[in-house]
Amino acid sequence: MSTTTLDRSAPSTMSERYLAIPTPLRWMGVAALGILVLTIVQSMSGTSLLTDSNTSGTMLRWSIPLLLAALGGLFSERVGIVNIGLEGMMILGTWCGAWGAFNWGPWWGLVAGAVGGALGGLLHAVATINFGVDHIVSGVAINLLGPGLTRYLSERVFVNYEGGSQTLSPRVDGLGNITVPFFAGGKIGGWESPDMLGWIDDKEWFWISDMAGVLRGLLFNIAYFTIVALVLAMIGSWIIWKTALGLRMRSSGENPSAGESLGVNIYLYRYIGVMISGALAGMAGAFIVLELTGLYRGGQTQGRGFIALAALIFGNYKVSGIIVGASLFAYPLGLSFADFDGSATRALLLVITLALIGVTVWAIRKEKWVDAIIGGGIAIAVLIWYLTTEAAPDWLPNTMPYALVLLVLIFNVQKLRVPQAVGAPFRRGDH
Q: Among 40-44, 75-79, 170-174, 392-396, where is mean pLDDT lowest?
A: 392-396
Banded pLDDT at 326 (limits 50, 70, 90) = very high
Per-residue pLDDT reduced to its tens digit, 211-251: 999 999 999 999 999 999 999 999 999 999 999 999 999 99
pLDDT at 198 over 70: yes
Residue 51 to residue 62: CA distance in whole angstroms: 16
Please state the pTM of the whole predicted model. Answer: 0.91
- Beta bridge mates, 319: none
pLDDT in tens, 44-54: 888 889 999 99
**pLDDT score of 91:** 96
Please answer whether residues 50 and 40 qualify as being in contact, where contact means their C-beta atoms are separated by less than 8 angstroms: no
Range in 133-137, 299-303, 403-407 with the lowest mean pLDDT? 403-407
Beta bridge partners of 187: 192
Does 393 have pLDDT greater than 60? Answer: yes
What pLDDT score was predicted for residue 19?
A: 65
| 172-196 average pLDDT score | 88
> Tell me, what's the pLDDT at 368?
84
* Mean predicted confidence (pLDDT) in 119-137: 95
| Confidence label for 11 from pLDDT (cuts 50, 70 and 90) | low
Instruction: Please name each of the domains of the chain with its CATH number.
Output: 47-175+223-336 (1.10.3470), 180-220 (no CATH)
